Amino acid sequence: MSKGHTIPLLHLARLLLRRPAVDAVTVFTTPANRPFITSSLSGTATSVISIPFPHGIPEIDPSVESTDQLSSMSLFHAFASATTVMQSRFEAELEKLLPIRLLVSDGFLWWTLESANKLGILRMVFFGMSNYASAMCKAVAEVRSADKADDEPVTVPAFPWIKVKSNDIPQFPDPQSNPVAFNFNMNTLQATINSYGLLVNSFEELEPAFLEYWNSKSMPRAWCVGPLCMIDPPEPMTNPKKPTWAHWLDQKLDKGALVLYVAFGSQADISTRQLKQIAIGLEKSEAYFLWVIKKKDSELGDGFKERVKDRGLVVRDWVDQRSILMHPSVQ
């Protein structure tokens, strides 16, 4: 229910199907997300099961079944917490598939641990982030200091070559003022700790110190299964229609121009002020750029698109990031 999490999980499904010991792979999704899932897994023997997504979530349109469609990321915790309604149907479908050797769950779907335990299935967690990110989440807990200003750099004890500021570290939600976010974070944390393992979209040689730190200081044990983006993509469609951004990149390649790719992901909540500052920076850089923003992010400054039309393209939709990064003009 978040493309940034879903895509590497689909790559993982392809990887698992290559293993002789794996008899079958089944992917659970929701009706609105199913077309994207089935298209991404075309040419494989993967089964796809859809479970209705809960409706009636306050402030969230009933058609929304993915985080990139949320009007604001402030609604994320309510959106993610509502998925617990799917648990009974999920368990009913799982029972039909028994015996199951392993359940790989997005980390935010904490309640799947309860389902796995009920049915005697090992659960492994997948967040999609690096060993560095996981290790730093643990290590920065030792950083906060009452005698340091919020904007003063502080050395991370476990990694003395890294400095952070207190105001760079997200505050844990307050149980009184934001109980939904607090309960969600606590449930996610506890479910992760009590799972069999953590799958990481990385490889040991890239960040050995952070993997070693996590496995010596935290639970559960982490295993590297990446980089998952290297898994073969789906078979291309016959005469596929190229998106506008692909034609634009081709044109820049013909001119010998190098393009800067700018994107912060569907879960980043960028303020209007920040968007305008980024727009100013891109305009002043005089670089060719492809900038992907959310549909709701519209405040880029008067006349921005017209002024940069010859060297910049703003896209307000989901894009195939892997294809963009593989394009010869993006370096």
Residue 99: is its pLDDT beyond 70?
Answer: yes
232 a catalytic residue: no
Cβ neighbour number for residue 147 with a 10 Å cutoff:
5
Worst-scoring range by mean pLDDT, 30-34, 192-196, 237-241, 249-253?
237-241
Nearest to 135 by CA among 108, 114, 157: 157
Helix (H) or strand (E) segment spanning residue 206: none
The model carries a pTM of 0.84
Reported as a single tens digit per residue, the pLDDT across 236-256 is: 555 568 899 999 999 999 999
Q: pLDDT value at position 127?
A: 87
Which of helix, strand or coil describes residue 160? strand
State the Cα–Cα distance between residues 113 and 328, nearest whole angstrom: 43
Half-sphere exposure of 184 (CA within 13 A, CB side): 18
Residue 297: is its pLDDT beyond 60?
Answer: no
Query: Is-contact 73 176, C-beta < 8 A?
Result: no
Q: pLDDT value at position 145?
A: 60
Instruction: Give residue 143's pLDDT band: very low, low, confident or very high (50, 70, 90).
Output: confident
Task: Give me the catalytic one of 11, 77, 106, 327.
Answer: 106
Task: Give me the catalytic one of 5, 11, 77, 327.
Answer: 5
* Percent of the chain clearing pLDDT 70 (strictly above): 95
Q: pLDDT value at position 50?
A: 97
The average pLDDT across 191-205 equals 96
Q: 4, exposed or middle or buried, with CB in 10 Å at 0-12, 13-18, 19+?
A: middle
Question: What is the overall mean pLDDT for the chain?
Answer: 89
Say which residue the tokens 């479970």 belong to.
51
Q: pLDDT value at position 166?
A: 79
Reported as a single tens digit per residue, the pLDDT across 259-278 is: 999 998 777 778 888 888 99
DSSP 90-113: HHHHHHHH-S-SEEEEETT-TTHH
Q: pLDDT value at position 233?
A: 63
Residue 223: is its pLDDT beyond 60?
Answer: yes
The average pLDDT across 283-289 equals 94
Q: 184-218 burial string, b = 16+ CB within 10 Å, else e?
A: bbebbeebbeebebbbbbbeeeebeebbebbbeeb
Query: Is-contact 327 251, C-beta < 8 A?
Result: no
Instruction: Give residue 146's pLDDT band: very low, low, confident or very high (50, 70, 90).
Output: low
327 a catalytic residue: no
Sheet containing strand 122-126, edge to edge, reads 102-106, 122-126, 197-200, 222-224
Residue 12 CA: distances (Å) to CA of 18, 46, 89, 272, 283: 10, 11, 24, 36, 39
Q: pLDDT value at position 273?
A: 87
177 vs 331, higher pLDDT: 177
The average pLDDT across 131-141 equals 89
Residue 117 CA: distances (Å) to CA of 23, 123, 181, 310: 22, 8, 24, 57
Instruction: Give residue 69's pLDDT band: very low, low, confident or very high (50, 70, 90).
Output: confident
Q: pLDDT value at position 71?
A: 79
Query: Is-contact 50 30, C-beta < 8 A?
Result: yes
Cβ neighbour number for residue 35 with a 10 Å cutoff:
10
**Cβ neighbours of residue 321 closer than 8 Å, sequence gap 6 or more:** 263
Residue 175 CA: distances (Å) to CA of 2, 156, 183, 229: 25, 27, 7, 38
State the Cα–Cα distance between residues 105 and 125, nearest whole angstrom: 5
71 vs 237, higher pLDDT: 71
Q: 75-92 burial string, b = 16+ CB within 10 Å, else e?
A: bbbbbbbbbbbbbeebbe
170 vs 204, higher pLDDT: 204
The average pLDDT across 133-157 equals 80
Residue 141: is its pLDDT beyond 80?
Answer: no
Cβ neighbour number for residue 285 with a 10 Å cutoff:
13
Query: Is-contact 13 27, C-beta < 8 A?
Result: yes
Reported as a single tens digit per residue, the pLDDT across 160-172 is: 999 988 777 777 8
Q: What domains are there in the chain, each with its CATH number?
A: 3-230 (3.40.50.2000), 244-326 (3.40.50.2000)
